[in-house]
Amino acid sequence: MTSNSRTLAKQQELLLDAEQYVKDEIYQEAVLVLTKAAGYRTPQTESIRKFLAEIYLKMGYPRKYLEILLEIIGDGTLCDNIYYEAVVYLYDDYQYAAAFQLLKDGLSRLDAPKLKSLYRQIRYKTYEFYGQYDLVQSFQNGLAPVLKDGKWGYLSNQNELIIDYKFDYATHFCGELALVINNGRTTLVNRQGFNAKVADFNAEEILGVSENRAGVKIDNKWFFIDTEFNITVDHWNKLGSYRNGITAVSQGLKWGIRDRQGRLLLNYVYDDIILDQFHYCFINGVNFVQNDGSYYLIDINGETVSENRWHKARAFSSSGYAAVEKEGKWGFVNTEGQECLPFIWQDARSFNNGLAAVRINGKWGFINQYGEVVIGAVYQDVKSFSEGIAAVKSGNSWTFIGLEEFRPARSVFAAGWER
């Protein structure tokens, strides 16, 4: 008998012993024997390790079960069943981001119908927040400003009101600070809702802090301030927020692009520059501008990207297609200005987190990159997904829905959200 044959025979003997222990429900002994058997390297070692994982699960040690499955995968084993069981465990344990990461890894390594089917089942599953609000803004940096009974507060992505309704107006957090209007005063607050700094001026309108700058409207003119409330000498009719060191500003009836040093990168030659919901421009290197009644794409140097023209346009997000309108219908284009999805929608918003909002027969839902409706058109209004969460309006109230792929672990959400 060869060495390999003896090893295989010994391993088989241990496996038979373990099976008898399991039959007799003596699981601790089964674990000891299977652990020893798994130490041999033979063609059946993988199945023995899988058997060991199942025993741990039966004993009430699910994390040890997962640990062994992940070790098998980490050793380079390409088995759709192993991936499937590990993903399902993570998913059922509320570890959604980890589940999707592992599932995508499996899909990249295996042409497995079982994994593809699982991805289709859970990719567009959503959960619902239980709060109802008069008005909301999108999530950014884990928080969203929400309005109730005339006052703004802050909701976390775990569906907790972390700052009560007390502000006249609120903007998104940037790091640890957010700009608000509190009892008529322009104020920076921290994540506990306490004042960090109060301005000696009163702004009529404000934009959120970004890159240590924020826009404020005083006496019908817009200025930039920093977080020490130093204010620019220059002022504008309108402006955006800084992202990647640049922002859009408007003088007279024209728009241009300015950097943080105050240099004008693109002159005031555009009738409009499209900004996203956070007032950013050139998120991924291109942006829609308007001249002569139509919108077109330019790059950061002002060079025209495409000769295509549209009647309306929405800003690109960091990934995905942008929504544009021509001849009364909305469709989608890529960053090269190529039309990628047909112009068939009553209205649309640009893609983010893999989905785009579209209006069908007066109601809003969401489509995937192939133009398939994956979240039904049942809402009065919606905002684009941001950080895996979208604001949706039913009747007169706003709330949020989230994609399970991005859902924080072990959060408390609306009753009945469980699968």
Structural domain of residue 94, as residue ranges?
3-125
The string of DSSP letters for 309-365 reads -BSEE----SSS-EEEEETTEEEEE-TTS-EEEEEEESEE---BTTBEEEEETTEEE
Query: Do residues 391 and 135 make contact, with C-beta atoms less than 8 angstroms apart?
Result: no
CA dist., res. 330 & res. 196, Å (int): 44
pLDDT band, residue 2 (cuts 50/70/90): low
Residue 92 forms part of a structural domain: yes
Residue 371 forms part of a structural domain: no
Q: Which helix (H) or strand (E) element contains residue 41? A: none
pLDDT band, residue 3 (cuts 50/70/90): low
The separation between CA 24 and the C-alpha centre of its own chain, rounded to angstroms, equals: 49
pLDDT score at 189: 97
Q: What mean pLDDT is predicted for residues 187-207?
A: 96
The pLDDT tens digits of the residues spanning 220-241 come to 999 999 999 999 999 999 999 9
Residue 47 forms part of a structural domain: yes
Residue 104 forms part of a structural domain: yes
The pLDDT tens digits of the residues spanning 240-255 come to 999 999 999 999 999 9
pLDDT score at 410: 52
CA dist., res. 407 & res. 75, Å (int): 29
Residue 369 forms part of a structural domain: no
The total domain count for the chain is 1
User: What's 39's domain CATH number?
Assistant: 1.25.40.10
Residue 344 forms part of a structural domain: no
Residue 332 forms part of a structural domain: no
Residue 418 forms part of a structural domain: no
In the chain, pLDDT over 90 holds for what percent of residues? Answer: 79
Q: What mean pLDDT is predicted for residues 37-60?
A: 89
Q: What mean pLDDT is predicted for residues 186-211?
A: 96
pLDDT score at 225: 97
The pLDDT tens digits of the residues spanning 337-374 come to 999 999 999 999 999 999 999 999 999 999 999 999 99
pLDDT score at 414: 36
User: 3-state SS of the chain: helix, strand, coil percent to 5?
Assistant: 25, 35, 40
Residues 6 or more apart whose CB falls under 8 angstroms from that of 268 comprise: 250, 251, 252, 254, 255, 256
The pLDDT tens digits of the residues spanning 106-162 come to 999 999 999 999 998 899 999 999 999 999 999 999 999 999 999 999 999 999 999
pLDDT score at 392: 98
pLDDT band, residue 415 (cuts 50/70/90): very low
